[in-house]
Amino acid sequence: MTAMIDCEGLVKIYKTDDLEVVALQGLNLKVEEGEMMAIIGNSGSGKSTLLNTLGGLDRPSAGQVKVGPWDLLKITEEELVRYKRETVGFIWQNNARNLLPYLSALENVEMPMMLSGKVDRTYAKQLLEWVGLEDRMHNKLYQLSGGEQQRVAIAISLSNRPMLLLADEPTGSVDTATSDLIMSIFRRLNREIGITIVIVTHDLTLAGKVDRVVAIRDGLTSTEFIKRNPNMIPDGGEAVLPAAAGLQAVHEAFVVVDRAGRLQVPKEYLSALNIKDKATMEFDGERIIITSPKSMGG
């Protein structure tokens, strides 16, 4: 398969007069065409910086980041405008960044088309039908609920037929039922029009509703969860993870090794083994095994 996103050693540094913050410090990530995946991580982990970089909102500082035919490290300002209009659609958690409240839902969807000079009302209506708002398309945005507004935002993000859809916490401000509806809309769009979808979230419950989950810690990809088994997806339904295969049982962790050869082991792993300041390390010829210190004496 062809990679839609290819990041290698991606670095993003924010600089002010007296401060330098490294938000991404050598991140690696590949996303295939037509894949629907989630990126999870705590606040400050770098996941939103990654999404902003992929969306062309932040310029990368170093490394490689390619989206489709575009090299975002070398792209010109003129090309960046085309990239944001033609290649990528963006959905924010905050509806105010997506929507114009005193226009109708249909007019909101047509707005990006006007900016590119290609208004297609039939397609705009089709998008609103896809997200279940065929009966609300002429309502003003302020007349719609938060969940309905978020569905309008999804339609807007698709108005210029992008290759890639980026969503920043798209279910973060809605209830569980609306969250499930939004995720089912994403899955339908992914299946029916083949669009690649990357969702940034802190909600682990989304893991069973996407093809793959990648965790980010301290600006690096730290953990990748196994792809769901397509045989477990009922027709038209969502993936069901086996109860016995809890999320922690089906992933591979990547441990950072610094220049001095020291391993940066995730804190939760150390806590689970009751490791505080010392650990026992063994090498069996193929693997390095880390355990809690063996008790001294009898």
pLDDT in tens, 35-47: 999 998 877 788 8
What confidence tens digit (pLDDT) does each residue in 46-55 have? Answer: 888 899 999 9
Among 6-20, 85-99, 223-237, the range with the most confident prediction by mean pLDDT is 6-20
Q: What is the pLDDT of residue 1?
A: 65
Query: Where do the domains of the chain lie, and which CATH numbers do they carry?
Result: 32-61+76-254 (3.40.50.300), 257-291 (no CATH)
Q: Radius of gyration of the chain from Cα atoms?
A: 22
Higher confidence at residue 298 or residue 194?
Answer: 194
- Backbone phi, psi, residue 104, to 5°: -75, 165
pLDDT classification of 273: cutoffs 50, 70, 90? confident
Cα angle vertex 281, ends 280, 282, to 5°? 125
Give strand ranges (E) for the chain.
Answer: 3-15, 20-32, 36-40, 62-67, 70-71, 88-91, 164-168, 196-201, 212-217, 220-225, 251-253, 256-257, 263-264, 280-283, 288-291
Q: What is the pLDDT of residue 46?
A: 83
The Cα 117–Cα 149 span in angstroms is 24
Q: For the beta carbon of residue 167, count every other beta carbon within 10 angstroms.
A: 24
The Cα 56–Cα 8 span in angstroms is 17
Can you give the pTM of this predicted structure? 0.74
Using the predicted structure, report yes or no on whether residue 193 has a pLDDT greater than 80: yes
pLDDT classification of 34: cutoffs 50, 70, 90? very high
Higher confidence at residue 137 or residue 173?
Answer: 137
Mean pLDDT on 17-41: 87
Lowest mean pLDDT among 10-24, 49-63, 237-251: 237-251
155, 60 in Cβ contact below 8 A?
no
